[in-house]
């Protein structure tokens, strides 16, 4: 079946048409390139899966990784990485080998021991919660999984991730992954981008009919709106009084390129579900315009070994994160707008892929390559979904 899918994409490229609509030649070429990237990425993910069904691990640390020795931190990252890979595989067409890898990944997510907080200041367990929840809410909607014997386990573990996530919501309504300031049971820090990922997962859970804490969800949505600045950027942290950064800091468009995409997506999704949110489709387009106009700042940061050392405090790991949610936004745009942004989006992912199919934006033990491929593949699968 995978061969049929890729053959269909190749046909679309050669004829430069989809469902009778003529496409610009550049879009046809981008589809062909996306097809190749997805194929190579799929092969890498299948070959790199761990025996227990997970992806990634603490092996092969870089110099900076020596700070992360707590086993719970690594288990959290492994859950998050596996969740991301499963999400990408769910967007693939039916393929026996990929489906087997997905089934094993879901089994790992549903059977792994509960995540624990690594230390008083380290709350990286929240990464496992947000992407574990994202993967399992997606699995609960997936026709290949929601009707299988895994259905009950998917729902039970997804709801467990959701309960754990509520416990780590900061008083300001946001979520984050450290608690340097208070070291309290309930952390005090919230970031716009993790809050956006959490809100997206919770909105999915609500659509599935899972029990949610409505006041807490509203606080998360309000926190995102609070972090939004007049130029369309979002502050890194959720502050009591957001201040427009007039220098070269992180709270400007050039330091916010990746955050803009996920925060815009979370707010437009919240608006569609009836929440009072002041955001329009034009804001989505503006965010993509900003991403590609200032894209070189992410290019400069990609691959740098120290977080926030690039211009405007960009980190390497911003790269695929931002593009993944840009792909989800493209899926929502009109055909004309989609065609406009698809070519640079595909090019920005394709140029990162190595010969073995891997992609990497930050050297992070054995997590960097699988999460890079999951984000990169997921980006392209979402962006080209309407063109298959």
- Tens digit of each residue's pLDDT, the chain (388 residues): 455 444 444 443 444 555 556 778 999 999 999 999 999 999 999 999 999 999 999 998 877 776 778 999 999 999 999 999 999 999 998 799 999 999 999 999 999 999 999 999 999 999 999 999 999 999 999 998 988 899 999 999 999 999 999 999 999 999 999 998 899 999 999 999 999 999 999 999 999 999 999 999 999 999 999 999 999 999 999 998 877 677 778 999 999 999 999 999 999 999 999 999 999 999 999 999 999 999 999 999 999 999 999 999 999 999 999 999 999 999 999 999 999 999 999 999 999 999 999 999 999 999 999 999 999 999 999 999 988 6
274-291 as b/e, with b when 16 or more CB fall inside 10 Å?
ebebebeeebbbbbbebb
Domain ranges of the chain: 2-387
Question: What is the fold, at CATH topology level, of the domain defined by 2-387?
Answer: Glycosyltransferase (1.50.10)
The tokens of 295 are what?
Answer: 């894209």
Q: Is the dihedral of CA 142, 143, 147, 150 positive or negative?
A: negative
Q: In terms of DSSP bridges, do strands 21-22 and 17-18 run parallel, antiparallel, or are they unpaired?
A: antiparallel
55 and 102 Cβ atoms separated by less than 8 Å: no
What is the enclosing helix (H) or strand (E) of 139? Answer: helix 125-140
Find the angle CA(111)-CA(176)-CA(291) to the nearest 5 degrees: 105
* CA atoms of 39 and 37, how far apart (whole Å): 5
**Per-position DSSP letters for 19-38, written without gaps between them:** TTEE--HHHHHHHHHHHHHH
DSSP E strands in the chain: the ranges are 17-18, 21-22
């Amino acid at each position: 079946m995978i061969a049929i899918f890729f053959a269909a994409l190749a046909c679309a490229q050669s004829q430069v048409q989809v469902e009778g609509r003529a496409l610009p030649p550049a879009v046809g070429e981008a589809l062909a390139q996306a097809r190749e990237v997805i194929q190579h990425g799929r092969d890498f993910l299948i070959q790199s899966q761990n025996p227990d069904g997970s992806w990634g691990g603490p092996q092969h640390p870089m110099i900076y990784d020596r700070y992360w020795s707590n086993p719970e931190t690594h288990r959290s990252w492994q859950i998050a990485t596996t969740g991301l890979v499963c999400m990408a595989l769910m967007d693939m067409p039916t393929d026996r080998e990929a489906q087997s890898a997905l089934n094993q990944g879901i089994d790992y997510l549903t059977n792994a021991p509960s995540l624990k907080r690594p230390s008083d200041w380290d709350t990286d367990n929240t990464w496992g919660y947000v992407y574990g929840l994202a993967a399992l809410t997606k699995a609960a909607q997936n026709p290949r999984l929601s009707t299988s014997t895994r259905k009950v386990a998917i729902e039970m573990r997804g709801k467990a991730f959701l309960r754990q996530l509520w416990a780590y919501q900061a008083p300001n309504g946001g979520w984050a992954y450290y608690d340097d300031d208070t070291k309290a049971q309930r952390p005090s820090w919230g970031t716009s981008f993790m809050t956006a990922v959490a809100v997206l997962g919770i909105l999915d859970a609500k659509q599935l009919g899972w029990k949610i804490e409505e006041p807490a969800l509203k606080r998360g949505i309000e926190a995102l709106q609070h972090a939004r600045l007049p130029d369309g950027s979002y502050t890194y942290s959720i502050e009591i009084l957001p201040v427009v950064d007039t220098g070269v800091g992180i709270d400007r468009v050039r330091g916010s390129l990746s955050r803009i995409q996920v925060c815009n997506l979370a707010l437009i999704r919240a608006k569609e579900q009836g929440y009072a949110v002041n955001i329009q489709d034009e804001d989505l387009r503006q965010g993509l315009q900003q991403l590609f106009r200032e894209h070189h700042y992410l290019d400069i940061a990609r691959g740098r070994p120290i977080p926030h050392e690039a211009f405007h405090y960009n980190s390497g790991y911003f790269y695929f994160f931002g593009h993944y949610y840009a792909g989800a936004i493209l899926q929502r745009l009109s055909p004309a707008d989609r065609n406009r942004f698809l070519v640079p989006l595909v090019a920005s992912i394709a140029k990162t892929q190595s010969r073995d199919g891997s992609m990497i934006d930050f050297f992070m033990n054995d997590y960097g390559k699988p999460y890079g491929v999951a984000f990169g593949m997921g980006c392209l699968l979402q962006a080209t979904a309407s063109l298959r």
